[in-house]
């Protein structure tokens, strides 16, 4: 089977050049994995992984030289990442075809150079174990020794061998993710291997960080509640947390809708998976959130967003004035605000949108210098006074600096300790 005519137009030139450079350097070069799977399914995928029979690092250097790019990293598996200039794909992973051996369950594998067939055999599922040749002789030819194409047509997620989930238990999470993404089925024998691996707690052999990475990928799926429910049904979710909120999962569709609406109104980057995660752990105390983040190695940035979320989940204040809205949402992350609207319902939506689109951009009319100019000495009163003036401005009670001199005596009196 030849897939050359299905290559995305945007990549056509690049793929040809990679094959030509490989040919001149004496290497056979393939595109592999998800790129090939999605090519056959007709799903756009610009995440190109290249496998080279021979020395992948040498080929990566050649590629970088000839294409005016740069090799940016190497790892201990013989993978090199090349940064390309001005191409549709900016980063390309180049892998040396290899055999893998897992020294013990859940460990990172030991590798040695291998054939292309070895390299496909070491992979997770048959549908991800296909390659397409890029050399000019045979450009676009499908290499499919394990009938990945058949499984794609049948809609089956099937492992390459019976030890797969013991070697690498993260594949259990991946199986649920691909199954639900494509509306496939995990093939019955593969499913029984998952159940056996779960029975002996195989996922405990991988680090918490790697488990979190898999959960993050799941939360990045178009409809993450599907793989999550599947993991629950396979009794796998307990290797992440056993105390996730079922109601939280019910908020996912609303979170998705709100994300769609709000991203059109603001410039912020929105980390949607974190809004979903907030729903799953929305009932935690801030302290439990911190412990959770430490356990799974989440960044400080994510931790702060989750703390915002659990605080907002307990919010009971009023949002009846612009200043109240501003003070309630001040510096809260956008993800936590999306979660908050999903949780509390549409009566708070207007307030959140008002905050995001207008209130948070308002600049204070009055600054410390203005107070000094009116004869006030800088001191502890400045902070509360400026805050009060800004609230008045937000609520439309202060429209111009000229009103300040009339207002000050009353405010100073009010704010007196
Ligand atoms: N792979 C594997 N076992 C893993 C992770 C990855 O065998 N635990 C292999 C698969 O062949 C996979 C390829 O490495 O296709 C690339 O991995 P990744 O980029 O994580 O997955 P994709 O298949 O590209 O999936 P996605 O569409 O989610 O990016």
Say what the pLDDT of residue 410 is: 87
Structure tokens at 116: 């292309």
Give the separation between CA 226 and CA 308, rounded to whole angstroms.
26
- One domain, residues 348 and 382: no
Closest CA to 176 of 119, 229, 100: 229
Claim to verify: residue 325 and residue 292 sit in the same structural domain: yes
CA of 263 relative to ligand 1 center, distance in Å: 29
Instruction: Report the CATH number at residue 223.
Output: 1.10.110.30
Nearest Cα residue to atom 20 of ligand 1: 34
Span from the CA of 91 to the centroid of ligand 1 (angstroms):
16
Whether 146 and 161 share a structural domain: no
CA distance 175 to 202: 15
Do 139 and 19 share a structural domain? yes
Q: Is pTM beyond 0.75 here?
A: yes
Provide the token pair at 108: 């990172």
Which CATH number covers residue 42?
Answer: 3.30.460.10
Average pLDDT over residues 324-340: 97
Euclidean distance between CA atoms 332 and 334, whole angstroms = 6
Do 163 and 146 lie in one domain? The reply is: no
Residue 209 phi/psi, 5-degree rounding, is -65, -40
Token pair 């915002």: residue: 308
From atom 29 of ligand 1, which residue's Cα is the shortest distance away?
Answer: 34
Report CA dihedral (19, 61, 24, 31) to the nearest 10 degrees: -20
Residue nearest to atom 4 of ligand 1 (CA): 124
Expressed in angstroms and rounded, the spacing between residue 32 Cα and the centre of ligand 1 is: 9
**Which two structure tokens, joined as six digits, stand for 260?**
């769609």
171 C-alpha vs ligand 1 centroid, how far in Å? 9
pLDDT in tens, 142-173: 999 999 999 999 999 999 999 999 999 999 99
Q: Please tell me whether residues 338 and 301 are part of one structural domain.
A: yes
DSSP string, 153-184: HHTEE-BSSTTHHHH-THHHHHHHHHHHHHT-
Q: Per residue in 128-145, pLDDT tens?
A: 999 999 999 999 999 999
394-414 per-position pLDDT tens digit? 999 999 988 888 888 888 888
Number of domains in the chain: 4
Quick one: pLDDT band at residue 212, thresholds 50, 70, 90?
very high
**Beta bridge partners of residue 361, listed in sequence order:** none
């Amino acid at each position: 089977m030849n897939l050359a005519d299905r290559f995305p137009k945007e990549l056509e030139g690049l793929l040809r050049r990679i094959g030509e450079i490989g040919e001149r350097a004496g290497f056979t070069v393939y595109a592999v994995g998800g790129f090939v799977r999605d090519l056959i399914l007709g799903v756009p995928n610009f995440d190109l992984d290249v496998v080279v029979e021979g020395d992948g690092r040498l080929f990566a250097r050649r590629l970088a030289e000839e294409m005016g790019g740069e090799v940016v990293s190497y790892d201990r598996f013989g993978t090199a990442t090349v940064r390309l200039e001005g191409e549709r794909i900016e980063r390309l992973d180049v892998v040396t075809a290899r055999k893998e051996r897992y020294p013990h369950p859940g460990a990172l594998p030991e590798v040695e150079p291998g054939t292309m067939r070895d390299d496909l055999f070491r992979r997770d599922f048959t549908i991800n174990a296909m390659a397409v040749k890029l050399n000019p002789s045979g450009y676009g030819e499908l290499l499919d020794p394990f009938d990945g194409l058949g499984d794609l047509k049948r809609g089956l997620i099937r492992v390459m061998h019976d030890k797969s989930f013991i070697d690498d238990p993260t594949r259990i999470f991946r199986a649920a993710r691909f199954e639900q993404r494509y509306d496939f089925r995990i093939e019955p024998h593969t499913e029984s291997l998952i159940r056996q691996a779960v029975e002996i707690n195989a996922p405990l052999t991988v680090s918490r960080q790697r488990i979190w990475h898999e959960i993050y990928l799941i939360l990045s799926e178009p409809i993450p509640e599907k793989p999550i429910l599947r993991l629950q049904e396979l009794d796998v979710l307990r290797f992440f947390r056993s105390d996730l909120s079922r109601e939280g999962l019910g908020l996912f569709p609303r979170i998705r809708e709100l994300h769609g609406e709000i991203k059109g109104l603001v410039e912020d980057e929105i980390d949607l998976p974190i809004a979903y995660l907030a729903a799953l752990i929305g009932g935690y105390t801030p302290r439990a959130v911190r412990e959770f983040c430490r356990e799974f190695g989440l960044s400080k940035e994510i931790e702060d967003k989750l703390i915002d979320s659990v605080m907002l989940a307990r919010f009971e204040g009023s949002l009846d004035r612009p200043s109240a809205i501003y003070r309630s949402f001040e510096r809260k992350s956008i993800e936590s605000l999306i979660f908050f609207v999903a949780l509390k319902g549409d009566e708070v939506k207007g307030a959140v949108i008002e905050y995001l689109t207008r209130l948070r951009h308002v600049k204070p009319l009055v600054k410390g210098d203005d107070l000094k100019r009116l004869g006030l000495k800088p001191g502890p009163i400045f902070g509360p006074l400026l805050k009060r003036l800004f609230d008045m401005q937000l609520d439309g009670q202060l429209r111009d600096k000229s009103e300040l001199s009339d207002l000050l005596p009353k405010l100073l009196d009010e704010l007196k300790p």
